[in-house]
Amino acid sequence: MEVRDLHPWPSTRAEAEAIQDRLRPLLDLHSPGPERPRTVAGLDVSYAGGSEGTGTRLAAAVVVLDAATLRTVEESVAVGTAAFPYVPGLFAFRELPTLVEALRDLRTVPDLLVCDGFGVAHPRRFGLACHLGVLTGLPTIGVGKTAFVGAYAAPGARRGDAGPLTDGDEVVGRVLRTQDGVKPVFVSVGHRASLDAACRTVLELAPDHRLPETTRRADRLSRDALRG
């Protein structure tokens, strides 16, 4: 699939922040996106050892699922090294070069990308899901395991219970309970998707576990690649 070359990979914090500032106006945060995507791709990255050092070996995986059956349609994995220092708010730059390589090897163009991370629920309103959405032009959402920014009240204990994730006066995402009595996940829009549709899709992708199957399978594939 096509991934656009919109910028060189940065080497400094100032360069990375300038790229985020330049790409942020390209976000489409008003389109409703796919209400019922047919194919959904999960993206995840695993590290060999800690994830802090530049040059750390990593594997980026993309797993495309049939959204109705959760059957795996296609897989792609690339092994590389962390391309940028660990800087809060700029973590995407560590993973993007290898993720882009894995995406470009896909034959299937999915209807939706589900990132293990954040979209606009980010201090600069430009998390990994936003960046990948702009580079690919595809509808993209982020599903985080913990909150990066914002405040929230714990949602109810039942599957499907949810509440807003707010940063100041702005709603930047939703705290969503995917299974009864388990910790919630943090859903945010990246590009060309609505928060309502994103949460509905995440629930459909998580019939049995806390995390959506897209994330679970991409995580497994990336870990297997590092072991291999």
**In this predicted structure, what is the pLDDT of residue 228?**
76
Asked whether the predicted pLDDT for residue 102 surpasses 70, the reply is yes
Count CA atoms closer than 13 A to 56's CA, side-chain side. 18
196 is in an annotated binding site: no
**In this predicted structure, what is the pLDDT of residue 205?**
98
Count CA atoms closer than 13 A to 158's CA, side-chain side. 0
Look up residue 68 and give its two tokens: 């109705």
Average pLDDT over residues 40-44: 98
Q: Tell me how crowded residue 83 is: count the other CB atoms within 10 A of its CB.
A: 18
**In this predicted structure, what is the pLDDT of residue 224?**
95
Using 50, 70 and 90 to split pLDDT, how confident is the model at 1? very high
The Cα–Cα gap between 218 and 227 comes to 14
Q: Does 8 fall in a domain?
A: no
Pairing of strands 140-144, 112-115: parallel
Owning domain of residue 198: 36-225
What H or E segment, with its residue span, contains residue 215? helix 213-227
Q: Estimate the share of the chain in helix, then strand, then coil, as percent rounded to the nearest 5.
A: 25, 25, 45
User: Which segment of 83-92, 141-150, 181-190 scores lowest on mean pLDDT?
Assistant: 83-92
In angstroms, the Cα distances linking 145 to 61, 116, 121, 175, 182 are 18, 8, 12, 10, 12
Q: Does 218 fall in a domain?
A: yes
Average pLDDT over residues 223-228: 90
208 is in an annotated binding site: no
Q: Nearest 5°: phi and psi at 108?
A: -85, 135
Asked whether the predicted pLDDT for residue 54 surpasses 90, the reply is no
**In this predicted structure, what is the pLDDT of residue 53?**
59
Q: Does 4 fall in a domain?
A: no
Average pLDDT over residues 104-121: 97
Task: Name residue, tokens 């009595």.
Answer: 181
Domain count, the chain: 1
Average pLDDT over residues 154-168: 97
163-215 pLDDT, tens digit each: 999 999 999 999 999 999 999 999 999 999 999 999 999 999 999 999 999 99
Of 227 and 106, the structure prediction assigns the larger pLDDT to 106
Please name which of 187, 192, 172, 201 lies closest in space to residue 33, comparing C-alpha atoms: 192
Pairing of strands 39-47, 162-167: unpaired
Largest CA distance in the chain: 47
Q: Does 54 fall in a domain?
A: yes
Q: Does 19 fall in a domain?
A: no
- For residues 42 and 132, the answer to whether their CB atoms sit within 8 Å is no
Using 50, 70 and 90 to split pLDDT, how confident is the model at 50? low
* Mean pLDDT for the chain overall: 95
Q: Does 2 fall in a domain?
A: no
For residue 130, give the CATH number of its domain: 3.30.2170.10
- For residues 32 and 189, the answer to whether their CB atoms sit within 8 Å is no
Q: Does 143 fall in a domain?
A: yes
Q: Does 22 fall in a domain?
A: no
